[in-house]
Structure 1
């Protein structure tokens, strides 16, 4: 693997913007003028205007714009603005004035952190010609403690504009730090490749290992070289590459070719020798950006949809995921244990399910393993909540078809209501209810968790997802989303809050009247919101904690409310006793019939009656008009006959 072609730009053809900052009279403007004019100027302005370096000055042929700055207090606002727009920052000090070097660690570098300017920094000692021989301290001795403290420093260099020493190199290193940054690839303290870099290179290795034998043969290595560097390797070069690896790492080469270990070793070697452009060329050829994620142009465009449309995986994607599941279920126990799941996601930047809301959303066995249903459920949840990330992750783990073939946008929910049926396979249920009503216990029971003896409040939105087996062998994925009591008002203040909801469930503690009253208020608020926005949703009432004695009028009150609003009577259940009254199947059934179980408020009923009255009035007017027209036509016929007979 050689690096005979220049790396492609991480700036995607845009200008690299380098901002030069530092104390007054440290040589900023002289540095810029000399780099642009290739000669030391006699007159240097206090602050240079933005200066463009020739495109062919450096191998990457990416234009460089250098922005000079003033350190005077009156220009502070402009300085901050320029620093925040920088791709890289060059910080200058004067080699003959040690106090300007001290200012880097006491002011300039802390200030960049305070402003959250997270770009590579090049430290430049200017006026090298003015430093006398009485200061023999090496640059490495001076800068090593500062570089240990401030890891954002990419390179340190000394130069002289007067004698034209290392002037072009200053901006070459700055441009290189932008196009080929070290930080995403290499941990300089540990001297190892960073995990995300390893994951990306592993994916690239697997994609190039066409025969899937765990090694790159000479032919596969040559194909890789042509793809990345547009030039084949000679047989002697392939032998040389493998010899270099084998001398340092025996397991890096076997009788089939270059192993993954050897492939990673080669990239670490290139980086240690300062050849970062080699690894960046490889990453960019395979679609990665500077954060070592797939670029936007590798992913589907933003999905255009109405708020009441959702996104689901296609059958092609589901079949691919089933194959992946069985491939990584190494012990064939029907579940992916944590280690197997980590291995599955080892070619993605990270395991996406190690974070909320996925980490606690699906059913796991005693060893923390995910069944196939649990695995597919989490994919359905991720596709529902973040479809582009779902597709991105599919690509990381080997989905080779058109990314758009992995997902589909469902029909609008309001159209489902009109047609009185839905084609969805994933339903989202919002679970409302006051504190301590049993919402969390309901979600826990859905994913097989035991009933908790102690109450633990839910502070934010929480999800639980599982697959429901329907009659006839059909499978539907149900997503329960818990809405905390304190968040309901803010949640419903959003116009399209209910657009993504297939069913709303209202849970109350059947032993406490205040719990029922709050749940009823939420039901009315949700029904009113649905009527006002056209996002009506089927609703179910759950009378939880059925193992406790109900308050005196619970059955009477709840039955009256459900009858008044035209929905099903409350469903009693006890998660503590494991008596669920088939609740999850009933939720799915309500979602499958989106025109039923929709509550009606008194205001909504009045509005409907008014519209019905107006409609009937129009019908009466229309009938009257028709009678008039018919009568007029009959009169004309009569008049015509009378005229002809006379």
Structure 2
């Protein structure tokens, strides 16, 4: 698999800062590289120097920034290294003190400035050193201590020795960085690189026999390097792999193990651009994720629109679930789930908000409903992430066709119905009201007496069976008590909410008061923003002694605000009173249960009065117009008869 010319992604230039002690040859190095000849006299600090795009094979121009090491220039130097894509750090081969200064000052200074750019160590004035010197032996401890060093090289401007190589290695470190692909310490491919290459291998294995035959290898070569492999080259590639790693080749062709071995070999031999060419041909960026071109979701959506999976995509995911359910027990265990996402940069559900958002089986596996619920949640929160992971697991249709943008909720309210299949419910309530218990109940988990305050937004998602046999996905988002004002500071925050519930402890009047206060506050925000949504009160902890006064008060509040009576539930006794189906029903009727405040009613009356007044004015204006026309007609007739 010989490598051809490498691509450089979308980068249009590479900026390189040259730093080091005074007199180490920085300016001479730059001048010699630009002029391709030695200049005995150069200024102390050169202006920015540009190497044209055709200077190196990657066809990306380079801008080289010379710097001064003087104290008064230190601030400017810091600015330049922070703007640089790569840093060339120089020492003088005939001045051992400047070499020591790399570890005692310069490399520590770069770390202090939090510079993440790759560093090329360049020993200048090689022609002035007399004694023999083993560069690799001397530099190995330095490179082990400072992993940011990409390459060490020695050069001579006077003899034009390895001058161009200095900036070639600096550009290469930017366009084809080693760190994302290869762990120098373990001398092995990094996990994310292996995952990307595994996906590429699977895509190229057209007959799906877990090996790349000669034809598939040739197609791969043409796609990545625009040139076919000769028969002798195919034989040579296989021979190299078979000699070093017998399991890398079988009777069918190159195995995945052999494919990964070849790329590790390329990198070890300094041909990292070969692997980067392959990755970029298949759409990967420097973070080893698919680039934006692959993930674009071009349709714009209004704040009160949501994104769902299409029915075709749901069927695809059901097929994927079945494929990776090796033991066919209806559950994806952790190892099966890891295998499913082994061609993605990482499993997307290992962190919040997905990690604890769905029901898990006793063996920490996912049922089909839990699997589809995770996809529904990810699609609602991050459609681009859904598209990416669909592609990673083998979805090959047009990315935008995999998802569906729902109709605006404002239009749903006018039509008094919705076509959505996934509903997002905000869960509000005072402390210890039972919000978290409600989320836990949706997931079918047992009740716990242990109280843990929720400090950040938390999600629970599950499929809810409706009375008519329909299934809808319900996403509960718990809003922490101290996060309500922050959430509602964004006027469009309620646009994403299909229904809101307000949970209170039915044995506590203060809890009811807190829930009502939140309900009124949210209702006002909804009226002001125009994104009012159905709201329900949930009387939690119904197993405790409830106050008849609280019951009367809560019922009266619901009547006054025009919403349904409170729903009593007891998660502890598993008496949830069909609450999740009722939440979904409320979301499906967006014109009902939208609370009205006194302020909202006043505004409605005012608008009605204004509209009535405008109507009267319109009628009066019309009568005046008709009268004027009649008078003119009468006058015209009178003049004619005269």
Q: Smaller-chain TM-score range? A: over 0.9
Gaps of 5+ in 1: none
Aligned counterparts, 1:360-379, within 5 A: 360-379=356-375
Residue 122 of structure 1, aligned match among 99, 117, 120: 120
Matches within 5 A, 1:80-159: 80-133=78-131, 136-159=132-155
Would the aligned equivalents of 1:443 and 1:464 in 2 still touch at CA under 8 Å?
Answer: yes
Corresponding position of 1:579 = 575
Cα-to-partner distance string for 1:482-507 (whole Å, 9 max, x where unaligned): 00001111211111121100001000
Q: Distance in 1 between matches of 2:148 and 2:295?
A: 30
Alpha-carbon distance between aligned partners in 2 of 1:234 and 1:641, rounded to the nearest angstrom: 102
- C-alpha change, 1:641 and 1:544, in structure 2 (3 Å) is same
| Structure 1 segment 41-80 matched on structure 2, within 5 A | 41-80=39-78
* CA 1:625–1:32: 2 relative to 1, 3 Å: closer
Cα distance in 2 between the residues matched to 1:6 and 1:241: 19
Question: 1:240 maps to what in 2?
Answer: 236
Structure 1 residue 631 displacement after superposition = 5.7
CA distance in 1, matches of 2:226, 2:288: 22
Deviation at 1:526, TM superposition (A): 0.3
- What's the offset of the Cα at 1:549? 0.8
Task: Work out the CA distance in 1 between the residues paired with 2:320 and 2:93.
Answer: 60
Cα displacement (A) at 1:160: 1.7
2:599 to 571, 579, 603: 603
* Partner-residue secondary structure (3-state), 1:62: coil
Give the 3 Å change call, closer, same or farther, for CA 553–247 of structure 1 in structure 2: same
Q: Note the C-alpha offset of 1:625.
A: 4.1
Partner Cα distance (2:8, 2:262) in 1: 22
Structure 2 residue aligned with 1:389: 385
Match of 1:22 in 2: 20
> Does the CA-based 8 Å contact 1:377-1:467 persist in structure 2?
yes
**Cα deviations by residue, 1:78-128 (Å, 9 ceiling, x for unpaired):** 222221221111111122333322222233222222323212110111122
Deviation (angstroms), 1:165? 2.0
Unpaired segments ≥5 residues, structure 2: none
State the match for 1:483 in structure 2: 479
State the Cα deviation string for residues 578-634 of structure 1 (Å, max 9, x = none).
111111111111111111100000011111011111112222333344455556667
Match of 1:217 in 2: 213
Is residue 560 of structure 2 the alignment partner of residue 564 of structure 1?
A: yes
What SS does the corresponding residue of 1:499 show, helix, strand or coil?
helix
Among 460, 464, 477, which residue is 1:464 paired with? 460
Q: Secondary structure at the match of 1:546?
A: coil
Match of 1:323 in 2: 319
Distance of 1:641 and 1:28 partners within structure 2 = 102
3-state DSSP of counterpart to 2:494: coil
1:124-203 aligned at under 5 Å gives the runs 124-133=122-131, 136-203=132-199
- Pair 1:405–1:302, CA change in 2 (3 A): closer
Q: How far is 1:173 from its partner?
A: 1.1
Count residues in correspondence.
642
On the 8 A contact 2:297/2:400 being kept in 1, the answer is no
Q: In the TM superposition, what whole-angstrom CA distance separates every residue of 1:119-151 from its partner, at most 9, and x where no partner exists?
A: 211011112233342xx4522233222211111
CA contact (8 A) 1:93 1:126 kept: yes
Q: Distance in 2 between matches of 1:603 and 1:494?
A: 20
SS for the counterpart of 1:591 is helix
Secondary structure, in 3 states, of the residue corresponding to 2:475?
strand
Q: How far 1:546 sits from its partner (Å)?
A: 0.5
Give yes or no for contact 1:302–1:388 (8 Å, CA) kept in 2: no
Segment drifting more, 625-634 vs 32-41: 625-634
Evaluate the alpha carbon distance shift between residue 642 and residue 549 of structure 1 in structure 2; reply closer, same or farther with a 3 A threshold. same
In 2, the alpha carbon distance for the partners of 1:52 and 1:631 equals: 82
Q: Does 1:430 align with 2:429?
A: no
Indicate the residue corresponding to 1:400 in structure 2.
396
State the match for 2:227 in structure 1.
Answer: 231
Task: State the Cα RMSD in Å.
Answer: 1.9
Whole-angstrom distance in 2 between the partners of 1:637 and 1:174: 91
1:380 counterpart residue number: 376
Separation in 2 of the partners of 1:263 and 1:224?
A: 12
Confirm or deny: 8 A CA contact 2:48 2:66 kept in the other structure. yes
- Report the Cα offset of residue 643 of structure 1: 9.2
State the distance in 1 between where 2:432 and 2:75 align: 52
Q: Shift of the alpha carbon at 1:70?
A: 1.8
The DSSP-based 3-state class of the residue aligned with 1:342 is: helix
Contact 1:121-1:152 within 8 A present in 2 as well? yes
Instruction: Using the TM superposition, give the Cα deviation of residue 50 of structure 1 relative to its aligned residue in structure 2, in angstroms.
Output: 1.2
Aligned to 2:300: 304
My pick for the range that moved more, 339-348 or 514-523, is 514-523
Deviation at 1:76, TM superposition (A): 2.8
Is the counterpart of residue 332 in structure 1 residue 328 in structure 2? yes
Structure 1, residues 274-298: CA drift from partner, whole Å, max 9, x if none?
A: 1111111111111111111111122
SS of residue matched to 2:496:
coil
Matched residues in 2 for 1:604 and 1:204: separation? 58
Match of 2:6 in 1: 7
Change beyond 3 A, Cα 1:290–1:630: closer
In 2, the alpha carbon distance for the partners of 1:280 and 1:110 equals: 30
Q: From the superposition, tell whether residues 20 and 642 of structure 1 become closer, same or farther in structure 2 (CA, over 3 Å).
A: closer
Kindly provide the CA deviation profile for residues 409-450 of structure 1, in whole angstroms up to 9, marking residues without a partner as x.
Answer: 211111111111111111100000111110001001101111
